[in-house]
Amino acid sequence: MSTEPPQISDLGRAVQDVGQKLELLVSDEIALAKTELAEKVSKLIKGAVFGIVAGVFALFALIYLLEAFSWGIYDLGWSGTTHYWWGFLIVGVVLLALGGLLGFLAARLVKRGTPPTPQMAVEEGKLIRETLSRSRPAPSRVPGPGEAAR
């Protein structure tokens, strides 16, 4: 049995083959990542489009429901007269009241959250700085490379 080392040309060829296979593997992985990303983006876009369409349908349904509510109020109190606008006025006032209440609540929530700074962390940092500046000894001067120590 011969224990001769492999020839240099065989070793070079093996390294070259490994390099080519590694290059092919990396390019395949990049292509796979691009394909996966394109598929995910496509799904996100489709989901966003369906969500927008659903929102539009919900908005139109809300308009029809509000109109039906207005006509229902008219039928309850003023049917037989031509004062149908009372139902629409009542629905409009209710919507304005709800919008005002929700706007007020939104303003309060925004006011509580602004400015978005971590107050407790800032206060703690100030306390640490004050503590360090009080307990820090006066800096001693270290002689430079050309100076003699005194």
Is residue 88 exposed (0-12), middle (13-18) or buried (19+ Cβ within 10 Å)?
middle
Report yes or no: 70 and 88 within 8 Å, Cβ to Cβ: yes
What is the CA angle 26-32-35, rounded to 5?
A: 145
65-105 pLDDT per residue, tens: 999 999 988 888 776 777 888 889 999 999 999 999 999 99
| pLDDT level of residue 134 (50, 70, 90 thresholds) | confident
The helix or strand, by DSSP H or E, that contains position 87, with its residue range, turns out to be: helix 85-113
24-57 pLDDT per residue, tens: 888 888 888 888 888 888 999 999 999 999 999 9
State the chain's mean pLDDT as an integer: 82
What pLDDT was estimated at residue 81?
Answer: 77
Using the predicted structure, report yes or no on whether residue 2 has a pLDDT greater than 60: no
4-23 pLDDT per residue, tens: 555 667 888 888 888 898 88
Is residue 71 exposed (0-12), middle (13-18) or buried (19+ Cβ within 10 Å)?
middle
| pLDDT level of residue 64 (50, 70, 90 thresholds) | very high
Is the pTM above the cut of 0.75? no
What pLDDT was estimated at residue 60?
Answer: 94
What pLDDT was estimated at residue 128?
Answer: 79
What is residue 147's three-state secondary structure? coil
Q: Is 91 left (phi over 0), alpha (psi -120 to 50) or beta?
A: alpha
Would you list the domain boundaries of the chain? Answer: 10-135
Query: Residue range 98-113: average pLDDT?
Result: 89
- The residue ranking higher by pLDDT, 123 or 135, is 123
Backbone angles phi, psi at 140, to 5 degrees: -90, 145
Report yes or no: 143 and 150 within 8 Å, Cβ to Cβ: yes
Cβ neighbours of 69 (radius 10 Å): 15
CA–CA dist 130, 126 (Å, integer): 6
